[in-house]
DNA sequence: TACTTTCGTGTAATCGATTACATGAAACAT
DNA sequence: ATGTTTCATGTAATCGATTACACGAAAGTA
């Protein structure tokens, strides 16, 4: 039987109306117990399945939420999504995935598509900053769709966010390098218009100053998050008059590239040069020369985003809460930066 | 304005009926050119957005497709999903993600939920084999929802699949180890009720036989896909009367564990012992001692699955095609198994 | 007995779009 | 002038479920 069974079919069979069937199935207290049981039994016998689309149209709620990420095939984003899915699953929400591929045009398209698809909420990591095109975001908020940023966030009224304390992450990593005896610490940063990179940078700077070390502009390299970019950046650094003796990289991939390039040049790690990364990608732990990195607890970030959404979704429009959750980063100290016994 | 604009609003403003508006917006040829233009202009001015839920209810098509994977935070599955999303995006489909966490109960729940949500198709990597509970799958097929297996597949009539040639993958890896001079090659396998593990094993066995080497039952270890499991398995192997001098592992993670354990015991790789894995996880390439592995081209697998779905979705029920796509595995030879110059 | 509640169910509108069929006007043919 | 097409639009049903309101019967009250 591939025929779809509706409440009308059940009603017809029992010689009652669809309204009664609907009420019986929805535990409406006005229904006689006998009728309810009969309806429920019949529905089961006929293999009735509620049509969610009809329900969604009537209620205006699709029970879908949208997640927008730059790309899904990175351990960090995949883990966040895992967290979101796990937290939302018991509540009956389905998770729709969109990728921006770091394109703002695509980001806007995704936002519109999700709103058009009547998702009940959107969680996203923004792809970059462009001041004027807030229109797509505003459109979301005007439609009263809860919007939550995770990790990469923007400052928009009415939008909650779940981030980690990137400043502290940068500070911890840098402080650790200093404690290991490094005195000329360089920094790989990313697009400074994104808060995450800005704050990691500021944490780095503050750690230097707090320890009485000079901050040198030339030690800061703005680089992409890739192995090759890391190699090139090390190359630049080593050409300086006073080359650094450590790098705090905002990207694990760039950190890996740096390490590969340093090895190539027979600079020994960690005795001559220390490296710390950011994100705690799986490979940092697996390397023979394991890489020190700042963990962002992506699973928890996803779970927390979902929880913030759940809080938000039931509130009436009047009580708009704007929640800013900041998770604590955790420094995983590994061989790439450990001169003392390990 | 957060008010939703419907075709009725447009109709009212223009003193025409909603039917005309609908036709104008859908390029129905029966509509006067002047009317069409007026409607389109007015719709744009009023910021009209088609209600996809209403459309979905009317048409019975949600424009969503469901993807079920054991978990999303593995590079392989994330990459497949990426491929699916990229291929389907231009066609206007949204991708809904479900995780089974290797639980059959969860798998069945997911299947039912997706069918209830009226997805237009389901792509999945099955979580395991249990002969009787085909009911969830049958339910999908009875509802005429195209179902496509990728990577881990089951034999069910009417279901298309996209897999790689696991036999060949196992054969290539094993043959390579033999060519490097290994003579006692062990194998880490997984749940043999899953075709992928069965076939990798069979490829391994065939390669041995073709090269005139003995197949030894004791060299085959059924192990989980984890670093620790790899360590333990090596431990077992080394206690054998004739310990092996190579491992072909169906899992990169187990291969990594094996390598770590071998190093611990000062067995040098690749000169004394060679290792090859499966899946080409990112870390296999990043290691200082990079790990030989069989690539499954997950991105291509995802794209191909999406294409098979697209072919299927437009066919009438009568012309049910059952397509079996088998992709070629590619052996990436790296340091962990290269005794010759590299 | 007559009047008011309460209870269980039916009626019909609604969510927003699509579409088979109906209709009236204009255009064309004879 | 009358009959026939053609064209553009309106009418109303439909997708499947929910729900405000209506209503008759049963139960309770005076």
Cβ–Cβ below 8 Å for A95 and B94? no
Q: What is the DSSP letter of A102?
A: T
Cα B64 from Cα B56, distance rounded (Å): 10
Note whether residue B147 is domain-resident: yes
Partners of A85 on chain B (C-beta within 8 Å) are 72, 97-99
Q: Report angle CA B279, B282, B283 to the nearest 5 degrees.
A: 105
Within this chain, do residues A317 and A209 fall inside the same structural domain, yes or no? no
CB half-sphere exposure, A182, CA atoms < 13 A: 31
**Within an 8 Å CB–CB cutoff, is residue A59 touching chain B?**
no
> Which pair of tokens denotes residue A229?
């970019």
Q: Distance between CA atoms of A11 and A9, rounded to whole angstroms?
A: 5
Q: Is residue A218 part of a domain?
A: yes
Burial class (CB in 10 A: 0-12, 13-18, 19+), A29: exposed
- Confirm if A51 and A63 have CB atoms less than 8 A apart: no
d(CA A17, CA A77) in angstroms, rounded, equals 49
Does residue A1 form part of some domain? no
Q: By the CB < 8 Å criterion, does A105 face chain B?
A: no
- pLDDT score recorded for residue B2: 52
Examine residue B264 and state whether it is found in any structural domain, yes or no: yes
- DSSP lists the bridge partners of residue B162 as B150, B325
Q: Is B73 on the interface with A (CB under 8 A)?
A: yes
Q: Are residues B67 and B215 in the same domain?
A: no
Note the pLDDT tens digit of each residue in A75-84: 999 999 999 9
Mean pLDDT of A203-224: 97
| Residue B248 within a domain | yes
State whether B78 and A73 contact (CB < 8 Å): yes
Domain holding B154, by residue range, is 63-164+298-326
Residue of A nearest to B281 (CA): A283
The answer to whether residues B16 and B33 belong to one domain is yes
Q: In angstroms, how far is C8 C1' from A292 CA? A: 69
Specify the pairing of strand A330-332 against strand A292-295: antiparallel
B52-59 vs A52-59: helix crossing angle, rounded to 10? 150
pLDDT of residue B312: 87
Are A288 and B287 inside 8 Å of each other by CB? yes
Residue B283 shares a structural domain with residue B187: yes
Q: Give the pLDDT band (50/70/90) at residue A216.
A: very high
**A342 domain-assigned:** no
Q: Return phi, psi of residue A238, to 5°.
A: -75, -10
Residue A1 has pLDDT above 60, yes or no: no
A206 Cβ contact list (under 8 Å, min separation 6): A167, A171
The list of chain B residues with pLDDT below 50 reads 1, 342
Judge: A2–B144 Cβ closer than 8 Å, yes or no. yes
Among the partner residues B60, B81, B288, nearest to A97 by beta-carbon distance: B81
Q: Are residues B231 and B253 both part of a single domain?
A: yes
How many Å lie between the alpha carbon of A112 and the closest alpha carbon of chain B?
Answer: 10
**Rounded CA separation A105/A127 (Å):** 10
Q: Are residues B28 and B87 in the same domain?
A: no
Distance from CA of B196 to the nearest CA of A (A): 22
**B110 and B229 co-located in one domain:** no
Same-domain check for residues B209 and B274: yes
CA distance A336 to A259: 8
User: What integer is the mean pLDDT of A289-315?
Assistant: 94
Assigned token pair, A222 = 């703005």
Residue A342 has pLDDT above 50, yes or no: no
Q: Which CATH number is A28's domain given?
A: 1.10.260.40
Q: Locate B166 and state its tokens.
A: 């696991």
CATH number for the domain that contains residue B156:
3.40.50.2300
Which one of B51, B64, B73 has the shortest CB-CB distance to A78?
B73
In a domain, B342, yes or no: no
Q: Measure the CA–CA gap between A179 and B12, rounded to whole angstroms.
A: 73
Question: Which of B 34-53 lie inside 8 A of A, CB atoms?
Answer: 49-53
CB contact under 8 A, A287 and B287: yes
Q: 3-state DSSP call for residue A49?
A: coil
| Residue A55 placed within a domain | no
User: How far is A68 from A86, CA to CA, in rounded Å?
Assistant: 17
* pLDDT band with cut points at 50, 70 and 90 for residue A146: very high
- Contacts for B264 with CB less than 8 Å, ≥ 6 apart: none
Query: Does one domain contain both B25 and B112?
Result: no
Q: Which two tokens stand for residue A324?
A: 């800013």
Does residue A108 share a domain with residue A184? no
State residue A151's pLDDT score. Answer: 96
Are both A239 and A282 inside the same structural domain?
yes
**Count of domains observed in chain B:** 3
B116, B198: one domain: no
Would you say A245 and A273 are in contact if contact means Cβ atoms under 8 Å apart? Answer: yes
């Amino acid at each position: 039987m591939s025929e779809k069974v509706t409440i009308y079919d059940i009603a017809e069979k029992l010689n009652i109306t669809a309204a009664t069937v609907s009420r019986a199935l929805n535990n409406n207290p006005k229904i006689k117990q006998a009728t309810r049981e009969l309806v429920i039994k019949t529905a089961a016998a006929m293999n009735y399945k509620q049509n969610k689309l009809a329900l969604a149209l009537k209620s205006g709620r699709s029970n879908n939420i949208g997640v927008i990420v730059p790309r899904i095939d990175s351990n960090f984003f995949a883990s966040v999504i895992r967290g979101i899915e796990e937290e939302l699953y018991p509540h009956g929400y389905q998770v729709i995935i969109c990728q921006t591929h770091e394109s703002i045009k695509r980001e806007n398209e995704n936002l519109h598509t999700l709103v058009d698809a009547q998702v009940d909420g959107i969680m996203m990591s923004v792809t970059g900053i462009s001041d004027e095109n807030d229109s797509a975001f505003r459109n979301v908020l005007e439609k009263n769709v809860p919007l939550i940023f995770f990790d990469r966030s923007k400052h928009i009224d009415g939008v909650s966010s779940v981030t980690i304390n990137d400043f502290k992450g940068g500070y911890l990593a840098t402080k650790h390098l200093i404690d290991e005896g490094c005195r000329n610490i360089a920094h790989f940063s990313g697009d400074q218009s994104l808060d995450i990179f800005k704050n990691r940078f500021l944490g780095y700077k503050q750690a230097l100053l707090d320890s009485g070390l000079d901050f040198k502009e030339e030690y800061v390299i703005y680089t992409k998050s890739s192995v090759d970019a890391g190699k090139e950046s090390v190359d630049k650094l080593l050409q300086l008059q006073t080359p650094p003796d450590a790098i705090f990289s905002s990207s694990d991939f760039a950190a890996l590239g740096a390490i590969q390039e340093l090895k190539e040049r027979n600079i020994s790690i960690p005795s001559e040069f220390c490296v710390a990364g950011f994100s705690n990608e799986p490979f940092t732990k697996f390397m023979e020369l394991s890489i020190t990195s700042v963990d962002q607890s992506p699973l928890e970030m996803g779970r927390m985003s979902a929880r913030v959404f759940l809080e938000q979704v039931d509130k009436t429009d009047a009580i708009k809460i704007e929640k800013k959750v900041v998770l604590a980063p955790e420094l995983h100290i590994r061989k790439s930066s450990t001169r003392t016994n390990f």
